[in-house]
Chain A
Amino acid sequence: MTGLGVRTDNLTVTFGDQVALDGLDLRLAPGKIHGLLGRNGSGKSTLAAVLAGFRQPGVGRVLLDGGDLGEAREPYENAVVTSRVCLIRESGDLYDAAPVKNMLGLAASLRPYWDADLAGDLLDRFEIPMRKRVQKLSRGKKSALGVVLGLASRAPLTIFDESYLGMDVPSRQLFYDALLADYAEVPRTIVLSTHLVSEVSPMLEEVVILDRGRLVTQSPVDSLRGRGASIVGPAAAVDELTTGLAVLAEQRLGGTKSSTVLGDLDETLVRQARSAGLEIGPVGLQDLFVHLTATNSKEGDR
């Protein structure tokens, strides 16, 4: 089992007059850990729900393929596909009145690759009591239970949609460790939807950044690191140098200006900047994310 590949064509979802996903064309390669980044309301959760077949696309379509599915199929109203896609949302989608044990039993009956040993081991590590009713668990334990169900399902496409927000830092680290260990053992397609960029990004191979229902950029995460640069110095010199570059943000303090640009600066430009007395510094992933999804950000995929 390698995991499912994802493909969306012109995927559009609207709620009344609000556009949640706006003509999204996306490919997620099978067997990788993808980060789905975006601000609140960017369409991350809607995309996750459509991939899992919880929601029907308004316009366009979603196709999943690979693994033991073979040819591409749409997830909506297709039990064969949805049993292989596990979406864990922050709410956990749990039955409050049921004991933890029953939630595991339900997952075991729905999930073809369910691993009961892994589930038991993870419950111990997160210290979740089997006999307790779900509604008696704290918010953090409920989130942890969701995470356990998501990992032990070993679904060929597993999506965690901010599922770990209710968990404290030590529990989140337990989750990250368990995720990486199990992914190494059973590689599959994993999507982590989050805005905790700096915490999650080392675990990712690819990132998808959404903003207002559109794709801002999709890239291997390591090539996004170091793709931004900040250029600081006398305003006129900064302006001259950044002409023709994709400027994401600008800041002025007196006669000094700081511009954040996207793209690899070639050596000539770097030398030109140095001789003009400008300082060039790298921009971190988190800052790049903030600039790329800022409300006043200049349009498009650069």
Chain B
Amino acid sequence: MVFDDRSPIYLQIADQIKNDIVTGALAEDEQVMSTNQYASFYRINPATAAKGFAQLVDEGVLYKKRGIGMFVSPNARELLRTGRRKAFFSEVVDPMIREARAIGVPLKDVVQHIEKEDK
């Protein structure tokens, strides 16, 4: 993973881990890398990695076991999917509609295309 210079790295770390949870690459109750492992693997400052992990603990996505490490919360996947569903129409569908209009694709063609997928 290459970090982007244009937004805080700790947020990018948190987003990447969330993504891994949503796609199932990280399972619930699975242990995640330690902050030092993460920092040396991605060549980033350990405090930055720790901040990203702390954010996920605050959001209930990860939980800590004292002296052992951090794990994916049992309900993390559902929690994240619910959050993303809320933003799905405004962030994914609306821009698609705008693009379709701009380039002259009739919305009924879009609907047809989607219905084909659903069968």
A225 close to B45 (CB less than 8 A): no
A176 close to B39 (CB less than 8 A): no
A96 within 8 A of B: no
How many chain-B residues does the 8 Å CB contact rule pick out?
Answer: 19
Interface residues of A in 198-226 (CB under 8 A from B): 198, 201-205, 221-223, 225-226
A-B pairs with beta carbons under 8 A, tally: 59
Chain B residues within an 8 Å CB radius of A180? 39-40, 43-46
Partner of A283, one of B6, B10, B51: B6
Q: A205-B48, A222-B10, A222-B51 are in contact. Are A286 and B43 (CB under 8 A)?
A: no
Q: How far is the CA of A128 from the CA of B44 in the complex (A)?
A: 26
A181 within 8 A of B: yes
Q: How far is the CA of A248 from the CA of B5 in the complex (A)?
A: 18
B3 within 8 A of A: yes
B9 within 8 A of A: yes
Interface string of A156-192 (1 = CB under 8 A from B): 0000000000000000010011001101100000000
A282 close to B44 (CB less than 8 A): no
A119 within 8 A of B: no
Chain B residues within an 8 Å CB radius of A283? 6
B90 within 8 A of A: no
Chain A residues within an 8 Å CB radius of B6? 225-226, 282-285
A284 close to B5 (CB less than 8 A): yes
Chain B proximity of A283: nearest CB distance (Å): 7
A32 within 8 A of B: yes
Residue in chain B with minimal CB distance to A224:
B8
A148 within 8 A of B: no
Q: How far is the CA of A139 from the CA of B44 in the complex (A)?
A: 27
Chain B proximity of A301: nearest CB distance (Å): 21
A152 within 8 A of B: no
Chain B residues within an 8 Å CB radius of A32? 47
A33 within 8 A of B: yes
Partner of B44, one of A173, A198, A202: A202
Q: How far is the CA of A222 from the CA of B36 in the complex (A)?
A: 18
B8 close to A222 (CB less than 8 A): yes
A198 close to B40 (CB less than 8 A): no
B112 within 8 A of A: no
- Which of B6, B8, B42, B51 lies at the interface centre, i.e. has the most chain A CB atoms within 10 A of its CB? B6
Residue in chain A with minimal CB distance to B6:
A282
Residue in chain B with minimal CB distance to A184:
B36
Chain B proximity of A118: nearest CB distance (Å): 15
Partner of B43, one of A176, A184, A223, A225: A176
Residue in chain A with minimal CB distance to B37:
A184
Chain A residues within an 8 Å CB radius of B7? 225-226, 282
Q: How far is the CA of A202 from the CA of B38 in the complex (A)?
A: 13
Chain A residues within an 8 Å CB radius of B5? 198, 201, 225, 284-286
Partner of A225, one of B9, B36, B51: B9
Chain A proximity of B30: nearest CB distance (Å): 23
Interface residues of A in 32-48 (CB under 8 A from B): 32-33
Q: A181-B40, A184-B36 are in contact. Are A205 and B8 (CB under 8 A)?
A: no
Q: How far is the CA of A286 from the CA of B40 in the complex (A)?
A: 22
The 4 closest A-B pairs by CB, nearest first: A284-B5, A282-B6, A222-B8, A184-B36
Q: Can you name 12 extra interface pairs (CB under 8 A) apart from A202-B42, A223-B8?
A: A176-B43, A177-B43, A180-B43, A202-B3, A202-B44, A203-B43, A203-B45, A204-B45, A225-B6, A226-B6, A226-B8, A285-B6
